[in-house]
Amino acid sequence: MAGATHVLPRAWPRTTAWRRRGFRRAVTFYLLISPWLLGFVLLGAVPLAGAFVMSFTNYDGLNLDYVRFVGTDNYARAFGDSDAQYALGRTLLLMAVVVPVGLALQLALALMVNQPIRFSNVFRTIFYLPYVIPVVAAVWIWKIFVDPTGGLVNAAAGAVFPEANWRLLVEYPTAVLAVLTIWGAAGGGMVVFLAGLQGIPAEYREAAMIDGASRAQVTRYITLPLLTPVIFFNLVTGIIVALQILVQPMLLSPGILGLNPGTVPPRDNYLYAVHAYIEIFTKQLFGYGSALLWLLFAVVLGLTLLLFKTSRRWVFYGVEP
Amino acid sequence: MAVRRRSLAPAEMGLRYGPVVLAAAVFALPIFWLLVTSLKRQSEYASSLLPSALEWANYALAVELANFVHFATNSLILSTTYAVLAVFVSALVGYGFARHRAPGHSKLFVLVIATWMVPNLVLFVPQFVLFARLGLTDTYWPWILWGLSGSPFAIFLFRQFFATFPRELDDAAEVDGAGPLRIFLQIYLPNAGPAIAASAIFMFLWVWGDWLYPALLLRQDNATLAVRMANAYVDPHGNPLQTVTMAGVVLYVLPLIVFFAFAQRYIVRGIVTTGIKG
C-alpha cells in the first residue's frame, strides 16, 4: 500500500491521510494480536532459541556456573547412543502400526455413523468418548481391563482356554500401548472425517447411484477421492502425535499399578520421547536431552515434508462447492 | 428416508447395523469394565467376574483416601482459569486476524499454524527451564501465562468463525464511533457462542486431563487431580485397592462425560468451522 503511493503522483494531503490511516490500521492490528505475539516471543521463540543453544552445552538444569559449550558433542553422542537408536526404532514401529490401523478405523467409524441409522448420535458418542477420557484415566482403564487377576480379557480367555493366564502388560506391552492409543484417538479422527463427509455434496453420490454404481463403488470412486484432503490431514497429525508418545508408556509401566509414575517403562515400550524425558528429567542432562529433542523435531519435520511432497500425487483438491 | 428404513430387508439391516453395533460394543467394553470393577468389593476383585452386591462404599472411600475434593478444586481452578483466559485472548487475536490488515499479517498467521506443529516436548523443556529460573514452578503462573498468550488452535478457530461475519456490522458500528475493541466486545464476542463453547471445552479438557505439565511443574499438594489419580489407592499394608482406584477414576472422568454429552453438537460444529477439509 505504502509503496503504491510513492509511485503514483498524488496530491500530498491525500497521501499523508492514506499513510496515516494505514499506519493506524497496522497499529490496531498489532495491538489486537499483541497478547499472542508477546506470548509467542516470550514463551515460544526465546525458549526455543534457548533450547537450541542449550543443545550445544552440558547444562544440567540446576545452575549456570558449570555450563560450558561442548560444540556438537551432544549430537555426535546421540548418533552413537544405542538406547536412542533402539527407542527410535520402537517409536517408528509403533507409528507404523498405530497410524494406518487408526486411520482405517477412524474412516470406517465415520462411514458407519454417517449412514441413515437409528441412534447414530448414541454411536457417535460411544466412539468419541475414549477421546475425551484423560490419559491417566485411559491408562488405568486398560491396566485393569488386561489385568491377569481381575481383568475382563483374561476372564474371557479363561472361558475359552482354561489355564489361560495372559500377562499382557508384561509380555506384550507394545500391543497394549497400541490398542490404547488407537482406542483413545479414534473418536477425534472420526469427527474430522465426519465433517469431511458432510462437506461432500449429496448430489455427487446420487448422480453416481443413478448411473448404476453400487454402494461400494460410490465409496471407492466418489467418497474416498473427495475425502483425500481429510485423510491427508489426519495422517499428518497422526504421525506427529505418534512420534511424540510419552505419557502413556510412562504411566503404563508396571510396578504396583502405577504407584511410582517415574518408573522406567518395560524395554518394549521404551520410546524415543521416553528416552529424552529420562535423560532430561531423571538424569538431569538438559543439554543432551535438548539435542535428542531437536533430532526428534527434525524427524517429524522431515516426515511431514515428505508427506507434503507425495500429497501432490494422491490428494485431490479439485472440487469447488 | 423414513419409508425406506422401514422396508429394509433383514440382510440389509444386518449389514448396516451389525458392524456399528459390534464396534460400539468393543469400544464401550473397557469403560463398562471400569464401572463394574468400581462396584466390586475389593475381596472379590480377583475371584468373581461380577459384583455380588453393588459396593457404593468404594466411591466414598475414593473421595476420602485421596483427599479428592482438595485436588478436584485445584483442577477446577486451574482448568477454568486457563480456559477463560485462553478463550478470551484467542477470540481477540482471532478477531484481529479476521478483520484487520497490516504488513506481516499473513506471515504471522502462518506462524500461528506453525507453532501448532512444534512437538510439545521440544517447546516444554526450555519453558520448564525458564519457569524454574523465574521461580514460577510450584505456582499456577505458567498456566496463566499460557492462557494470556492464547492457543493457536483456538485463534485459528475464531479467525475462521469471525471471517464469516458480515462486514456491514463493522461499518455501521464504526459510523457510530465505536473503536475496534468495542466492536469486538459488543458485536463479535456476543455472537461467537458456538466457537466459544467448542474452544472452551477443549481448553478446559486439556488442563483437566494433562498429566505431564502439572506433574513436572507443581508440588504434590497443589498438583491437579490427574497427578493424584496417577497414583494407586493402597491399603495400610501398601497393597493396591483396584476397586477403589476405579471408583476414583470414574469420579475423575464423570464431569467431562456429562459436559460432553451436552456439548457434542458444538464440538462437531467447531471442527466444521475450522474448515480442516482444506
The pLDDT tens digits for A106-147 are 999 999 998 888 888 889 889 989 998 999 999 999 999 998
Q: Answer yes or no: do B139 and B194 share one domain.
A: yes
Confidence label for A101 from pLDDT (cuts 50, 70 and 90)? very high
Q: Which residue from B33, B119, B242 is facing A296, i.e. has the nearest CB?
A: B119
Q: Answer yes or no: do B165 and B49 share one domain.
A: no
Checking if the pLDDT of A277 tops 70, the result is: yes
Contact A145, B30 (CB under 8 A): yes
Highest mean pLDDT among A97-111, B1-15, B201-215, B236-250: A97-111
Checking if the pLDDT of A6 tops 90, the result is: no
3-class DSSP state of B49: coil
User: How many contacts does A have with B, using Cβ atoms within 8 A?
Assistant: 269
| Residues in chain B closer than 8 A to A88 (CB atoms) | none
pLDDT tens digits, B234-249: 888 878 888 999 999 9
B78 contact partners, CB below 8 Å, separation of at least 6? B140, B143, B207, B214, B224
Q: Answer yes or no: do B34 and B110 share one domain.
A: no
How many independent structural domains does chain B possess? Answer: 2
Site of grid cell 510419552:
A246
Q: Is residue B10 part of a domain?
A: yes
Q: Is residue B32 part of a domain?
A: yes
Q: Answer yes or no: do B16 and B110 share one domain.
A: no
Please indicate whether residue B11 or residue A44 has the higher confidence score (pLDDT): A44
| Residues in chain A closer than 8 A to B272 (CB atoms) | 195, 198-199
Q: Which residue from A42, A129, A294 is facing B122, i.e. has the nearest CB?
A: A294
Q: Is residue B246 part of a domain?
A: no
Contact B224, B212 (CB under 8 A): no
Note the pLDDT of residue B269.
Answer: 62
Please indicate whether residue B75 or residue A229 has the higher confidence score (pLDDT): B75
Is this complex scored with an ipTM above 0.90? Answer: no
Q: Answer yes or no: do B53 and B71 share one domain.
A: no
Note the pLDDT of residue A4.
Answer: 43
Q: Answer yes or no: do B9 and B95 share one domain.
A: no
Q: What is the CATH number of the domain that holds B74?
A: 1.10.3720.10
Contact A241, A185 (CB under 8 A): yes
Contact B213, B124 (CB under 8 A): yes
In the predicted model, what is the mean pLDDT of residues A41-62?
87
Q: Answer yes or no: do B13 and B80 share one domain.
A: no
Q: Is residue B148 part of a domain?
A: yes
B96 vs chain A: nearest CA distance in angstroms?
5
pLDDT tens digits, A186-231: 998 998 898 888 888 888 888 888 888 888 888 888 888 888 888 9
Q: Answer yes or no: do B149 and B16 share one domain.
A: no
Checking if the pLDDT of B277 tops 50, the result is: no
Q: Which residue from B96, B149, B245 is facing A43, i.e. has the nearest CB?
A: B149
Confidence label for B46 from pLDDT (cuts 50, 70 and 90)? confident
Q: Is residue B129 part of a domain?
A: yes
Q: Is residue B263 part of a domain?
A: no
* Domain extent at residue B20: 2-59
Site of grid cell 467431562:
B256
Please indicate whether residue A33 or residue A159 has the higher confidence score (pLDDT): A33
In the predicted model, what is the mean pLDDT of residues B28-36?
94
Global model pTM greater than 0.80 = yes
pLDDT tens digits, B248-271: 999 999 988 887 777 766 666 665
Note the pLDDT of residue A3.
Answer: 42
Checking if the pLDDT of A312 tops 90, the result is: no
The per-residue DSSP string of A227-238 comes to HHHHHHHHHHHH
Which set of grid coordinates corresponds to residue A234?
A: 489426519
| Residues in chain A closer than 8 A to B34 (CB atoms) | 140-141, 144-145
Highest mean pLDDT among A97-101, A199-203, B170-174: A97-101
Looking at B199, B217, B232, which one is the last position of a domain? Answer: B232
Q: Answer yes or no: do B154 and B74 share one domain.
A: yes
B215 contact partners, CB below 8 Å, separation of at least 6? A261, B223, B226, B227, B230
Q: Answer yes or no: do B136 and B165 share one domain.
A: yes
Of 1.50.10.20, 3.40.50.300, 1.10.3720.10, 1.10.1200.10, the CATH number of A75-314 is 1.10.3720.10
Checking if the pLDDT of B54 tops 70, the result is: yes
Please indicate whether residue B135 or residue B5 has the higher confidence score (pLDDT): B135
Residues in chain B: 278
Q: Answer yes or no: do A304 and B240 touch at CB < 8 A.
A: no
Q: Which residue from B31, B102, B121 is facing A26, i.e. has the nearest CB?
A: B102
Average pLDDT, chain B: 86
Checking if the pLDDT of B195 tops 90, the result is: no
Confidence label for A93 from pLDDT (cuts 50, 70 and 90)? very high
Note the pLDDT of residue A315.
Answer: 84
Which set of grid coordinates corresponds to residue A73?
A: 558433542
| Residues in chain B closer than 8 A to A134 (CB atoms) | 205, 208-211, 226, 252-253, 256
Highest mean pLDDT among A36-50, A154-168, B72-86, B161-175: B72-86
| Residues in chain B closer than 8 A to A244 (CB atoms) | 119-121
Q: Is residue B182 part of a domain?
A: yes
CA angle B241, B243, B248 (to 5 degrees): 95
Q: Is residue B135 part of a domain?
A: yes
Q: Answer yes or no: do B27 and B89 share one domain.
A: no
Q: Answer yes or no: do B36 and B167 share one domain.
A: no
